[in-house]
């Protein structure tokens, strides 16, 4: 590398750009992300400036896909739209765009243009200095936050941090306020999973704050409605739903959130109708296909519970509708772990065990870096597959245990604990000296926080088999903890 190109590379590495934000392309389904961003552009979704940001991010994705010329075109379109949208206020909003252009030109070997864009960034920074070299412009924090928010769930905490920094500098900005609310909403557990929480959550409060600034945002209204259901504020939630549907009747994001609201309220048919309407607007949404499958699954389970008179043909029809939509979801987003697990279990019900196992293996390959709550659902589904369909109890126990070791006090966690107890108790009814059954009960008691009970079970396990190191190790650890 020549001295000139080495110097240029050093300058590039100092820029605020998607090329310097440590976005790991191996962690994302680029085709799915590209489709989602193109949908945002085509449907003009989001607040002011959102389309320009989508073009900018799409440019980076196009580069990762090996289409640098297309990437440059998207960035030029982003610059044009930013200027049209913000006019005289657009300059600082181009810091990241010019940084991306500088990197793109460098990667295509156009060092002169790369230098030129580096200089443009430098000129803007000199024109609008920040309080210190470590503080970024709010527009940069905002662009960085939206990028993290759209990239992958594991990046949501970074998005939250960036939105917070942007709001420190511009507390009343509608874009950062809304983005922060959305990021909190996506990361926050439901109130039902955090018992004894009477006060409204940070996400709920932030959604209210965002709506004070932008009261006509249908997405924020529908998100707040879903939050209020958790706090039993049904009348207020219903009013927000009606308003959101009036403001954004054709917005697929509004429709999918309201559809979830209807499903929670038990209005499955209204939810299905709304999701089908959303698909007419954006038929490449893995999320919407998955939500439709969830609705049909709920109807299937309700029919099956009408024992002994349930309609087998109707159950089969509903299962096929589930499979149809989940198949589409997984084709659109090959790393969609929840959809993969749900689809695999349905194939298990269909007795297509080889296809189910193939899908579970696909899901396992995508678990790395996945949110713990999603991993927990996956392991529960895999355990159920072995428990009810392959009858491989050892494999079922393995996956129930994996689920037990993850996020506590969720519905899935309680199911894993319940199933492990049932397996252990059944085995003990058949053989009162089954050390593995006592070991399972010890593991569950320990996970539930009952250390004394766990000690009793491990002692019984050792009485039945004193050669098992796991029991002795767990027992010693528990006794030290109790001391």
CA distances from 124 to 61, 118, 127, 128 (A): 25, 10, 5, 6
Confidence (pLDDT) at 204? 96
Those residues whose C-beta lies under 8 Å from the C-beta of residue 404, and which sit 6 or more positions away, are 413, 416, 417, 420, 443, 444, 447
| Maximal C-alpha separation, the chain | 81
CB 416 within 8 A of CB 403: yes
Mean pLDDT of all residues in 423-431? 96
CA-CA-CA-CA torsion for 335, 338, 341, 343, nearest 10 degrees? -90
Q: How far apart are CA 370 and CA 374, in angstroms?
A: 7
- Is 301 exposed, middle or buried, given 0-12, 13-18 or 19+ CB atoms closer than 10 A? exposed
Confidence (pLDDT) at 193? 55
Mean pLDDT of all residues in 48-76? 94
Which of 133-137, 178-182, 188-192 is predicted with the least confidence, judged by mean pLDDT? 188-192
Confidence (pLDDT) at 245? 95
For CA atoms 463, 466, 469, 475, give the dihedral sign: positive
CB 43 within 8 A of CB 288: no
Confidence (pLDDT) at 180? 98
- DSSP of 290-352, one letter per residue? HHHHHHHHHHHHHHHTSTTS--HHHHHHHHHHHHHHHHHHHHH-TT-HHHHHHHHHHHHHTT-
Confidence (pLDDT) at 191? 62
Confidence (pLDDT) at 405? 93
Confidence (pLDDT) at 121? 97
pLDDT tens-digit profile of 290-308? Answer: 999 999 999 999 999 987 8
Mean pLDDT of all residues in 55-74? 96
Q: How far apart are CA 242 and CA 261, in angstroms?
A: 11
Confidence (pLDDT) at 6? 81
Which of 228-232, 237-241, 291-295, 414-418 is predicted with the least confidence, judged by mean pLDDT? 228-232
pLDDT band at 42 (very low <50, low <70, confident <90, very high): confident
Confidence (pLDDT) at 2? 60
User: Which among 71, 54, 72 is positioned nearest to 62, based on CA atoms?
Assistant: 71
Q: How far apart are CA 275 and CA 156, in angstroms?
A: 25
User: Which among 320, 324, 318, 256 is positioned nearest to 43, based on CA atoms?
Assistant: 256
Confidence (pLDDT) at 393? 96
Confidence (pLDDT) at 1? 55
CB 296 within 8 A of CB 259: no
CB 229 within 8 A of CB 261: yes
pLDDT tens-digit profile of 403-424? Answer: 999 988 889 999 999 999 999 9
> How many C-beta atoms lie closer than 10 Å to residue 186's C-beta?
14
Check whether 43 has a pLDDT greater than 90. no
Confidence (pLDDT) at 29? 85
H or E, element range at 469: helix 469-482
Mean pLDDT of all residues in 212-240? 95
Mutual angle of helices 156-169 and 138-151, in 10-degree steps: 160
CB 54 within 8 A of CB 41: yes
What domains are there in the chain, each with its CATH number?
Answer: 3-129 (1.25.40.10), 285-370 (1.25.40.10)
pLDDT band at 128 (very low <50, low <70, confident <90, very high): very high
CA-CA-CA-CA torsion for 351, 360, 395, 456, nearest 10 degrees? -120
Mutual angle of helices 174-187 and 218-230, in 10-degree steps: 40
Confidence (pLDDT) at 3? 62
User: Phi/psi class of residue 283: alpha, beta or left (left: φ > 0; alpha: ψ in -120 to 50)?
Assistant: alpha
Mean pLDDT of all residues in 366-387? 92
Q: How far apart are CA 189 and CA 299, in angstroms?
A: 25
H or E, element range at 142: helix 138-151
pLDDT band at 371 (very low <50, low <70, confident <90, very high): confident
pLDDT tens-digit profile of 182-216? Answer: 999 999 987 655 545 668 999 999 999 999 999 99
Residues in the chain: 483
CB 130 within 8 A of CB 137: yes
Average pLDDT, the chain: 93
Percent of the chain with pLDDT over 90: 81
Give the number of C-alpha atoms closer than 13 A to the C-alpha of residue 305, restricted to the C-beta side.
6
Confidence (pLDDT) at 26? 83
Those residues whose C-beta lies under 8 Å from the C-beta of residue 19, and which sit 6 or more positions away, are 12, 60, 99, 100, 103
User: Which among 101, 36, 99, 41 is positioned nearest to 68, based on CA atoms?
Assistant: 101
Q: What is the pTM of this model?
A: 0.88
Phi, psi of 85 (to 5 degrees): -75, -40
Q: Which residues of 221-258 are buried (b: 16+ CB within 10 A; e: fewer)?
A: bbbbbbbbbbbebeeebeebbebbbebbeebbbbbbbb
Confidence (pLDDT) at 28? 84
CA distances from 285 to 249, 257, 320 (A): 17, 13, 19
Considering just the CA atoms, what is the radius of gyration of the chain in Å? 26
pLDDT band at 368 (very low <50, low <70, confident <90, very high): confident
Mean pLDDT of all residues in 329-334? 93
Examine residue 308 and say whether the peptide bond preceding it is cis (omega within 30 degrees of 0).
yes
Confidence (pLDDT) at 391? 94
């Amino acid at each position: 590398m020549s001295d000139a190109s080495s110097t240029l590379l050093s300058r590039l590495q100092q820029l605020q750009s998607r090329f310097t934000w440590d976005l790991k392309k191996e962690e994302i389904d680029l085709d799915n992300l590209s489709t989602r961003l193109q949908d945002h552009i085509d449907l003009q979704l989001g607040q002011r400036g959102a389309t320009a940001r989508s073009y900018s991010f799409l440019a980076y994705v196009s580069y990762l896909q090996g289409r640098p010329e297309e990437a440059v075109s998207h960035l030029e379109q982003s610059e044009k739209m930013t200027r049209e949208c913000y006019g005289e206020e657009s300059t600082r909003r181009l810091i990241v765009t010019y940084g991306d252009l500088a990197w793109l030109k460098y990667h295509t070997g156009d060092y002169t243009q790369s230098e030129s864009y580096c200089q443009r960034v430098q000129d803007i920074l000199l024109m609008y200095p920040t309080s210190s070299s470590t503080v970024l412009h709010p527009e940069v924090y905002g662009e960085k936050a939206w990028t993290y928010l759209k990239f992958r769930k594991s990046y949501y905490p970074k998005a939250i941090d960036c939105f917070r920094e942007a709001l420190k500098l511009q507390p009343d900005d509608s874009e950062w306020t809304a983005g922060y609310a959305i990021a909190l909403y996506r990361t926050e557990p439901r109130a039902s999973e955090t018992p004894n929480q009477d006060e409204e959550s940070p996400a709920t409060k932030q959604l209210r704050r965002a709506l004070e600034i932008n009261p006509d945002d249908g997405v924020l209204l529908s998100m707040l409605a879903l939050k209020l259901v958790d706090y039993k504020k049904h009348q207020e939630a219903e009013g927000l739903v009606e308003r959101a549907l009036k403001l954004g009747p054709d917005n697929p994001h509004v429709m999918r959130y309201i559809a979830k609201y209807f499903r929670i309220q038990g209005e499955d048919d209204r939810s299905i109708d709304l999701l089908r309407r959303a698909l007419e607007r954006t038929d490449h949404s893995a999320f919407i296909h998955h939500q439709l499958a969830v609705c049909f699954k709920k109807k299937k389970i309700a029919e099956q519970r009408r024992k002994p008179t349930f309609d087998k043909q109707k159950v089969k029809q509903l299962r096929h509708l589930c499979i149809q939509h989940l198949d589409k979801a997984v084709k659109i987003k090959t790393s969609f772990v929840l959809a993969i697990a749900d689809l695999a279990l349905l194939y298990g019900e269909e007795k297509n065990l080889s296809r189910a196992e193939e899908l579970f293996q696909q899901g396992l390959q995508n678990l790395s870096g996945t949110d713990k709550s999603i991993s927990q659902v996956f392991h529960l589904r895999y355990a159920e597959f072995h428990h009810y369909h392959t009858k491989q109890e050892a494999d079922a126990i393995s996956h129930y245990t994996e689920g037990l070791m993850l996020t506590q006090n969720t519905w899935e966690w309680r199911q894993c604990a319940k199933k492990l107890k049932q397996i252990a108790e059944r085995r003990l009814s058949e053989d009162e000296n089954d050390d593995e059954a006592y070991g399972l009960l010890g593991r569950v008691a320990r996970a539930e926080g009952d250390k004394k009970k766990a000690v009793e079970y491990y002692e019984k396990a050792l009485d039945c088999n004193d050669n098992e190191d796991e029991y002795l190790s767990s027992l010693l650890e528990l006794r030290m903890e109790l001391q």
